[in-house]
Structures are given as C-alpha cells and as structure tokens.
Amino acid sequence: MSVSPAWELRENGDPAATWFDVRLTFPDGAGVDLLAVVSGGCVSFEDVRARPPLSLVDLTELADWIEGPLFDSCAGASGTQAEPGAAAAGGARRARPAWPRGSEGRRLVAQEYRAAQQQGADPVLAVMSATGHSRRASLRLIAQARDAGYLAPRHAKG
C-alpha cells in the first residue's frame, strides 16, 4: 500500500483540506487506486478505481484497509499529531484506547466535548480522538452524555 499527498488547500496559512493518492496492490494482481480528501476531521473518497471491481462488501471495508496508513500520512503531511493508535502496521485495524463504560465514560465524554468547545475545536472530533470510536459511535456517546445531564440539551424546548 502506498499513500502520498497529492495537494493541499490552505486557508490563512493553515491546511483546510488535503488530498491523498492511495494505491493498494494485492498479491493476486488486484488493485485499488483512490483519491481521499481529509478536511475538518473527516475523510471522504473523491474517486475510487478498482481492478477487478469491488463488491459492496469490499467497498464497505475499504476504509478499514486504508485507515492506518492514511492517518500516518495525514500526520506526516500536516505535521500534526495523529489519532491515538494510528501507527498500525500493514493496514491492520487500530486498537482503541481503553475507555470506561457507564456514567464514568459519559462524564469523560462531556469533559472532552466541553474542552474542545472552549478551545474552538470540533468537539465531535475531540471525542472521536479520545475514545477511538467512529463519528457515529462518538455522536451516540455524546447523546448519552446529554441524556445523563452531563451536557446541556442540544435544543432549548419552549
């Protein structure tokens, strides 16, 4: 697998979005080339070409295949800290940091969320980085922290 920065869009001297060329080559001669863009803490695929074509199952697993090497390249390209456990070898899945369950976990999620808000950072991305969970799982944890009263309700009801 190879990951290399293709180009970068800067806003006020800081990277706003970075595009990466990613190439996966398999021992049987199959391969995948894709263009991934990292912006605002999110990764999206702009173009995917596979030989032979990917099945729907393989397409859903594509993110897992490139996750570790892409995060390593993001850290190297932007000079920023990579997400915890991002140095996985050979594209293996990253180990999640230990995160307490129950009320202790919800309290820590709320702390991470509020700290990111105070620093002007993306609170969901901060929770994702702290827990090692996906965006969807992190949003679920944030909702549980709200329901438990650790965070203010999202919308005022009136």
Q: What is the pLDDT of residues 112-141, one digit of tens each?
A: 999 999 999 899 988 888 887 788 888 989
Instruction: Verify that 83 and 124 share a domain, yes or no.
Output: no
The per-residue pLDDT for 77 is: 56
Q: 109: how many CB neighbours lie within 10 A of its CB?
A: 29
**Number of compact structural domains in the chain:** 2
**Domain check: are 70 and 110 in the same one?**
no
Measure CA 95 to chain center. 14
Q: Do 67 and 138 fall within a single domain?
A: no
Angle between helices 102-119 and 123-131 (to 10 degrees): 140
pLDDT, average across residues 21-47: 85
- Rounded Cα–Cα distance for residues 68 and 82 (Å): 10
Answer yes or no: are the C-beta atoms of 74 and 122 closer than 8 Å.
no
- State residue 30's pLDDT score: 84
Answer yes or no: do 66 and 29 share one domain.
yes
CA–CA distance, 95 with 105 (Å, rounded to integer): 18
Q: Is residue 118 part of a domain?
A: yes
Instruction: Return the pLDDT at 13.
Output: 80
Q: pTM, whole model, 2 decimals?
A: 0.46
Collect all residues with Cβ–Cβ distance below 8 Å to 57 and sequence separation of at least 6.
none
Same domain, 78 and 109: no
Per residue in 50-108, pLDDT (tens digit) is 898 888 777 777 877 777 777 777 766 554 443 433 333 333 344 455 678 788 889 99
What pLDDT does 81 receive? Answer: 43
82 and 113 in one domain? Answer: no
| pLDDT in the model for residue 67 | 73
- Domain range for residue 114? 102-147
In the chain, the amino acid numbered 7 is: W
Task: Select the more confidently predicted residue: 1 or 41.
Answer: 1
How far is 158 from 7, CA to CA, in rounded Å? Answer: 47
